Structure 1
Amino acid sequence: MKSLLTASILALGAAGALAQDKPRIGATVYGLNAEFMQIWADAAANHPAVKEGLVDLTVFDGRYDALVQQEQFETMITEGYDAIVFVPHDIEAGAAAVDAAAEAGIPVIGSNTRVNSDKLKSYVGSDDVQSGYMEAKYVLDKIGCKGNVVIIEGPIGQSAQIQRLEGNMKALAECPEVKVLEQQTANWSRAEGQSLMENWLTKHGEAINGVIGQNDEMALGAIEAIKAADIDVTTIAIAGIDGVTDALTAVKAGDMASILQDGAAQAQGAVDLAIAAVLPDYQPKSDIWAKYTDMPWNGGKDAEYNVPWTPVTAENVDALLAERQ
């Protein structure tokens, strides 16, 4: 997917250079190494308004670095982009970039992860506290609210890490007999999640009853470590968040639980909002507004749009996998 996505981003950037009369939308995302943000960026690039040529869109890879994203904002401001969609790497560091765009009169739409700024025009994402609670509750219910768990966190300082941890702890507070043996970041990385789990298995062995992975990639890394240690993965309760393809397959196999985060809806909703900020009479072209009737468009005027979570189950996993074909 990434090679196709990169090609589409470059093509869209070239189109922007040839058609300066069209509104130009820039999107800087925290990083494109993993599938979830690739899904987000691909959906943005394939937004109906972009494909029809109503606007030009350029997606920038933030490379998991708040400073890189700051520089990308500076580029978009200097080049006179009409609106910016922002998926920040850091909740605090991203605020200066939003301030600079606001001073330049460029509307900024937040998506997926949050930034601590009151200058966003709007935000479209999902409730990370809720997902953190949901995944932890699955693990705790499966181990009967007794035993030991480990928590694999996202990048420290990103809003999803902060809020999912809040949800994790809310669920853990309901199970006072459960002990958190280890808690550390793996930066959304499958490889880092595997390495952490290898170390924890060496230290704690079969004392680990549950793994709360704040995203699927890290939970999948933990599964690889467990299998490599010749431990039956079904004896450990494991949960992640996002619904990436490998996680859907793992759910189907009974290895883990996952909660689908609809990155495509977040991306296309954010692009609709960015266009509406530039073209006042614009009506949304994405079908996500019909898909999620509990998230009405409301003229694109709401400060926040909340895309619902979808727990991955035995009943819906095949349909979700089919959508990835």
Structure 2
Amino acid sequence: MKNWRLVKMKRILALALAALLCLALAACSDAGQADTPADAPADAPAAQPEKAADYHDVKAKIMIIGKNSTDPFTNWLLTAAEKVIQEGYPNVEYVVTNLNDDPSNIVTLLDQCVLDGYDGVLIQKGSNSINSDEWYQNATAEGLKISAINAVAKDGAASCSYADDYGMAQMMAEYMAQALPENAQVVFFKGPDGNQAAMDRVDAYQEHLFEVRPDVTVIAENFVEGWKKENAITLMEDWCQRYDTIDGIISVNDTMALAGLDVMKNAGRDISGVYSCGIDGLADGCLSIEAGELTASILQNADVMSEEGVRLLMQMINGDIEHEAYIVDGVMITPDNVAEMIQMHRDNGIIK
């Protein structure tokens, strides 16, 4: 009986000690997690940096991505973006790179940004026809903020700053419908096949120029891969050999229109009576209008496009907005206002 009572007493003491030990451990646990909400999940994300009172003061690291390193409009966009950041966002670090005309590099660069701790990306993807929705959504889910320039973003995650391609081409088509002489014979540079921006511009020319002026004959037309000058030159050289009379050059961008004029000049043709047009308002296009060669262009203002794209990105990083779109208005450029446009290009450093 004595032995049984002794065993019972030992069990009671063991239980009491175990209870005291559990209480001690619980107290230590509570003390170590005093600042953590009781319902916070174990894998909750780290706290975000403190929000700046003004998004211009936000501290961030961003990557600026262009479609390639040789396109004149891309260079204008990226130069403008750098200038905006340097002058208005003192706490922003950035690097500049490009896609080398390969859209698949978008995924690689976004992944790199996530792994290297970037806060945001300002990107010119090159074409609205590239479906980047899933890429942007996945990167956004990893905490990266994205602002697209020179392209629409409809993914529900990225902001965008862009121009209305159809609207710009409609403005130019209506102008040329008034300018072209009766029974004019023209050639038509249509831009890259399948590129949404090019197709929108082609549609606008068709509906607001060629359908309105059935007397105008398109004697030659073709797509131009990559919007590139050298590809337009090859086409125009062939057209000049085939056609003695070319009254007009209709183009969906400045670069191809200027290429066509250069070929005609090099072939010894008089271009003083040739009606030609483009879109973008590039520095070279403006200088050509001033010289009495290119008839007109539409300003697709890369300065404004980049400025608004950077603003949207900084506001996203600072938590001011989720995502928004900004549409840049096109402006007709003719001999009447070209001096103002040339001064703009001097001010932004494109014309030295």
TM-score, normalised relative to structure 1: 0.80
Match of 1:262 in 2: 301
Q: Which digits, 9 at most, give the CA deviation of each residue in 1:101-133, with x for residues without a partner?
A: 133232322211235x42343221111101112
* Partner of residue 72 from structure 2, selected from 30, 35, 38: 35
Match of 2:259 in 1: 221
* Partner of residue 306 from structure 1, selected from 313, 321, 327: 327
**Alpha-carbon deviation of 1:301?**
6.7
Question: CA distance change for structure 1 residues 253 and 274 in 2, over 3 Å: closer, same or farther?
Answer: same
Distance 2:114 2:202 in 1: 34
* Partner of residue 205 from structure 1, selected from 223, 244, 263: 244
**Counterpart residue identity of residue 72, structure 2:** E
Three-state SS of the structure 1 residue aligned to 2:279 is: strand
Distance 1:103 1:166 in 2: 36
Distance 1:27 1:154 in 2: 25
Distance 1:113 1:153 in 2: 18
Q: Which digits, 9 at most, give the CA deviation of each residue in 1:197-243, with x for residues without a partner?
A: 1111112231x322111111111111101111222112221101111
- Asked if 1 retains the 8 angstrom alpha-carbon contact of 2:151 and 2:160, the reply is no
Mapping for residues 41-120 of structure 1, pairs under 5 Å: 41-48=78-85, 52-90=89-127, 91-114=129-152, 117-120=154-157
Q: Which digits, 9 at most, give the CA deviation of each residue in 1:28-71, with x for residues without a partner?
A: 22123132211110111111466642222222212222122332
Distance 2:326 2:110 in 1: 23
Distance 1:175 1:322 in 2: 35
**Counterpart residue identity of residue 309, structure 1:** G
Match of 2:215 in 1: 177
* Partner of residue 320 from structure 1, selected from 317, 331, 341: 341
**Counterpart residue identity of residue 239, structure 2:** W
**Alpha-carbon deviation of 1:165?**
1.5
Match of 2:62 in 1: 25
Distance 1:70 1:301 in 2: 21
Distance 1:39 1:141 in 2: 31
Three-state SS of the structure 1 residue aligned to 2:62 is: strand
Distance 2:235 2:279 in 1: 18
Question: CA distance change for structure 1 residues 186 and 231 in 2, over 3 Å: closer, same or farther?
Answer: farther
Three-state SS of the structure 2 residue aligned to 1:28 is: strand
- Asked if 2 retains the 8 angstrom alpha-carbon contact of 1:138 and 1:239, the reply is no
**Counterpart residue identity of residue 165, structure 1:** V
Question: CA distance change for structure 1 residues 303 and 161 in 2, over 3 Å: closer, same or farther?
Answer: same
**Counterpart residue identity of residue 201, structure 1:** C
Match of 1:231 in 2: 269
Three-state SS of the structure 2 residue aligned to 1:182 is: strand
Distance 1:302 1:68 in 2: 23
Question: CA distance change for structure 1 residues 159 and 108 in 2, over 3 Å: closer, same or farther?
Answer: farther
Question: CA distance change for structure 1 residues 83 and 271 in 2, over 3 Å: closer, same or farther?
Answer: same
Distance 1:50 1:58 in 2: 16
Distance 1:249 1:142 in 2: 20
Distance 1:306 1:121 in 2: 15
**Alpha-carbon deviation of 1:96?**
4.0
- Asked if 2 retains the 8 angstrom alpha-carbon contact of 1:148 and 1:209, the reply is yes
Q: Which moved more, 1:135-144 or 1:34-43?
A: 135-144
Q: Are positions 1:195 and 2:234 aligned together?
A: yes
RMSD (CA atoms): 2.3
Question: CA distance change for structure 1 residues 144 and 315 in 2, over 3 Å: closer, same or farther?
Answer: closer
- Asked if 2 retains the 8 angstrom alpha-carbon contact of 1:24 and 1:57, the reply is yes
Distance 1:167 1:80 in 2: 43
* Partner of residue 159 from structure 1, selected from 193, 196, 199: 196
**Alpha-carbon deviation of 1:186?**
4.3
Give 1 or 2 for the bigger CA radius of gyration.
2
Distance 2:160 2:183 in 1: 38
Q: Which digits, 9 at most, give the CA deviation of each residue in 1:163-196, with x for residues without a partner?
A: 2122222212222333333122142222222221
Aligned length: 285
**Counterpart residue identity of residue 63, structure 1:** N
TM-score, normalised relative to structure 2: 0.74
**Alpha-carbon deviation of 1:265?**
0.9
Match of 2:315 in 1: 276
* Partner of residue 161 from structure 2, selected from 92, 102, 124: 124
**Alpha-carbon deviation of 1:302?**
7.0
Distance 1:312 1:165 in 2: 19
Distance 2:183 2:114 in 1: 53
